[in-house]
Amino acid sequence: MYAAKWRIVKDALALVNCVFCGAEVRGTGCVVTQRMDMSEPSKENLEKMRKYVKGFAEKSGTTMHPNRAVTESVVKGLAMHVDELGKPLCPCNFYKDKAAEAKLRRWICACDEMQIYKYCHCLLFVREDGMPITEYLPEGHEGREIYGVITDPTPEKGRALKHKAAPAPSQTEE
């Protein structure tokens, strides 16, 4: 996972921030990251994130992805961000400035999309079959475009911020 992100950062022609440490990167890569061992989060934060994810899945009426590798990868990324930022910033996005993004809170797990639409783009919180819930997403949202309409098996749970949702298109429209 990190090798692929490193290659993207290393091969970038424009000035960007390193996806790991936030340092400015020019075409040759981040010197800071080259010296850091970014392979494992602290055991304490890894366990904290596992416990959080399990509890949130139960509370929201979702399950963790049935492919354990998906779940572990996302949980590990969350724990690494807790180590780095003190917050479980979603590891599935690229941020120009992770610290600034963490202050905005919209991508802190469980992110705004999960709280409003019950949609997890990381595929961490899904239905038992591993599919993301997309029925509440607004028309044109990438999740709805990719997966189509996938119904929520537990509509009575989750969506703490559903009052902020744009109206979902009717499933009966053609």
Q: What is the pLDDT of residues 62-115, one digit of tens each?
A: 999 999 999 999 999 999 999 999 999 999 988 999 999 999 999 999 999 999
pLDDT digits (tens, 9 = 90+) for 98-112: 999 999 999 999 999
- Where does the pLDDT of residue 168 fall: very low under 50, low under 70, confident under 90, or very high at 90 and above? low
Q: For this structure, is 92 an active site residue?
A: yes
Q: How many residues are recorded in the chain?
A: 174
Q: Phi/psi of residue 113, each to 5°?
A: -60, -35
User: At residue 126, what is the residue type?
Assistant: V
Q: Read off the pLDDT of each residue in 142-156 and give the average, rounded to a whole number.
A: 96
Q: Phi/psi of residue 160, each to 5°?
A: -60, -30
* Res. 156: pLDDT tops 90: yes
Average pLDDT, rounded, for the chain: 81
pLDDT digits (tens, 9 = 90+) for 132-141: 999 999 999 9
Q: 62: closest CA among 170, 159, 141, 143?
A: 159
Q: In this structure, what token pair is assigned to residue 65? A: 């992805």
Catalytic residue among 30, 90, 92, 122: 92
Q: Read off the pLDDT of each residue in 54-60 and give the average, rounded to a whole number.
A: 97
pTM for this prediction: 0.73
